[in-house]
Amino acid sequence: MLRAMMQVYIKGSAEAVQLYQKAFDAKLMNEHKNDDGSYMHAELDIFGQILALSESSEEERITGNTMQFCLHFGETNKELVEKAFRILEQDAQILVPLGPCFFSSCMVGFIDKFGVSWCLFA
């Protein structure tokens, strides 16, 4: 296997790419845009993990999806969790508030404004 990556199809892919770049200090590795400026395909390097994004049409939207992206930053990197969450929390649905839990001193669970479910923890 050459690599594994996470893929998400969302409405507002151009905004999402910019927001995720800011939240995770992510580098845009690959991009192919649609005529309207949205992404046919984009790849972000998030601390060595690849998140691929593509624009979704309403017809493609799947409801009831239980997928979640979990990013474990390590105990010494609580500030990375806090920074990412502070950037992504606007218009998000908070599932588990930022704070300690049984497996981490800093964890948060939420669904961002694009409908992507995240679990970030140190």
What is the pLDDT at residue 103? Answer: 95
Give the tokens for residue 87: 């950037």
Provide the phi-psi class of 115: left if phi over 0, else alpha when psi is between -120 and 50, else beta: left
Higher pLDDT, 65 or 6: 6
What is the pLDDT at residue 28? Answer: 98
Task: Give the distance between the most distant pair of CA atoms in the chain.
Answer: 47
What is the pLDDT at residue 63? Answer: 57
Sorting pLDDT into bands at 50, 70 and 90, what band is 64? Answer: low
Range 91-103 average pLDDT:
97
Domains of the chain, first to last: 1-58 (3.30.720.120), 65-122 (3.10.180.10)
- From 12, 26, 6, select the one nearest 58 (Cα to Cα): 12
Range 105-118 average pLDDT:
96
DSSP string, 43-86: EEEETTEEEEEEE--GGG--SS----EEEE--GGGHHHHHHHHH
Residue pLDDT, tens place only, 47-56: 999 999 999 9
Name which of 28-32, 33-37, 56-60, 107-111 the model is least confident about: 56-60
